[in-house]
Each structure stands twice: as C-alpha cells, then as structure tokens.
Structure 1
Amino acid sequence: MKSSDNLWEKASLAPGAPPRKSFALTGHSVAIDPRHNAVRPDLADVRLAEYVFAPHYAAPMPCVVTRDVVLHLTSSADSAVLAELQAGDAFECLEVLREVAWGVSPDRRLAGYVDRDALDQIK
C-alpha cells in the first residue's frame, strides 16, 4: 500500500477551476495522514474526492483568523497542538461544531480544529 503525506497538495487548488463531472476510484488505497489531509471517517474536503471515499464531502469556506489561536488535532482543547495560527492567517473551514471549527490552514498544509470565535465569516 502506498502512503501519502499530503494529498491536499495534489488536489486542484486553482480558484475558479471547473468542477469535476465524475470521479473514479482506481488502484490501491493510500494511507491518509489526517494532520495533512482534511479527511475524517464521516467527512472529507471535496478537493480530495478523487483520492478518498467519504460519506460526505464539504467545500471549504474561506475565513481569516481574527486573533492568535491554536490548531488542534482533535476537537478537544487538550489535544495535541499542530500549529499556532496568527491573526490574519487564512483558514478554510469545512465544518462548525459548537465552539470549534474543523478545516485546513492552507499556509501550513495542516488540517485540524480551532476555536470558532477566532474566525471571521462563521455564523
């Protein structure tokens, strides 16, 4: 089985790129690192649809970090810290869960959870 550290880099990131009309799963599965790829058992970034299967996909909602905040591996505030995001950093939100938001820090190529009140555009 092949492994892939960051499928997100292979995904189409071009703004305005035409949406894919179909997807096909071919070849062997790859090991997914959830720190670098926005993939969970229940949800995945739609840009990864040609690489992984998930019951649901979400399109990223661009946000800006409004204050310094910690990017965590899980939704728990005491989980492993992946990075510290600074005010003004970009964040692509895929899901909002109570007090936290799950998504991708595109500058760091990391997926994780941040306090939702540290992001703009989250209602």
Structure 2
Amino acid sequence: MSGISAPIFRFTDGLNVTEHDTYTRTLPLDGMLAMTGPSVTAEPGCLPVRGDLAHIKLAGLCFVPHYAVPVAYTAKAGAQLVSAPTTTGEVLAELDEGAVFNVLDIAGVWSWGQIGEDGLVGYVALEQIEAPEAGE
C-alpha cells in the first residue's frame, strides 16, 4: 500500500476503500489522514457538517466526532427542506419530485442531509422521502 500505513476503512469481507476512491476522497492522500489546520467553516446550510456529524467527503477538512456515508433517498411531491427538525422550521427549499436527497442522519421522524451532491443542507421529514430499494 503506497503512501499510508493502514487502510482507510476495514470491512469484515476484507474489502478496503483505497486512497484513490474519488467519491469519499476528493484529493489523493499524501500520508496519514490528519487535520493540518483549522476546521473548514461555512454558512449554515451550505456544507453537510454539524457539531456531531459530517459527510465523509469532509474528513480531514472538518473536525467532528463522526463522519457518515450518505444514502440517496428520493423526494416525494411536496417535500420541503427545513432549517430545524420541527414543523415550524424555516423552509429553505422545495424539493422537486424525484430529486435526490442524500441522508446522513435519521432521528425520529426527521432526516438530515443534503440535496444532491452540493445543494442545500437541512432536514426533511421521513414521510416526504422514499428510501432506496434493496440492492441499490
């Protein structure tokens, strides 16, 4: 293995995500993954990061306790992205029917994630999105 001293991920079947996996790593690794400066900051709703969780693509850029690989859900008609997991949260966007909402966390009846790969970040009620079919 070149450039790193341990696999980035280890799965029970022995498969590893390599340092060249462009989905989870936008830049090639040049040594062990480490924070080399301050954590990236952005306006709320712009990056899929919050105090406890961030999208795996932000590992090495944002310091949080957990990173998640998104699961692509599909928006139903009338789905709304809101700023907080409540019915009184500010509506940030209306999702088109069939739009991809990348879910990073589910708590109760709310999901937290990002519209597409680089859209707005917020909460969508679980009843407004459809889970991917098994095998996808």
The two structures have a TM-score, normalised by structure 1, of 0.76
Provide structure 1 residue ranges, at least 5 long, that are not aligned to the other structure.
Answer: 1-15
Deviation at 1:67, TM superposition (A): 2.0
Task: Give the distance between the partners of 1:40 and 1:103, measured in 2 at CA.
Answer: 10
Task: Give the distance between the partners of 2:95 and 2:23, measured in 1 at CA.
Answer: 30
Matching of residues 21-100 of structure 1 within 5 Å: 22-100=32-110
Q: Deviations over 1:31-77 (max 9, x none)?
A: 33230111111111111112101101111001111222110111122
Task: Give the distance between the partners of 2:46 and 2:95, measured in 1 at CA.
Answer: 15
Structure 1 stretches of 4+ moved >6 Å? none
Provide structure 2 residue ranges, at least 5 long, that are not aligned to the other structure.
Answer: 1-20
Greater RCO, CA 8 A, separation 6+:
1
Find out whether 1:17 has 2:27 as its counterpart.
no
Whichever structure has more strand as a proportion of its residues is: 1
The two structures have a TM-score, normalised by structure 2, of 0.69
For the aligned residues, what is the CA RMSD? 2.3
Task: Give the distance between the partners of 1:76 and 1:109, measured in 2 at CA.
Answer: 21
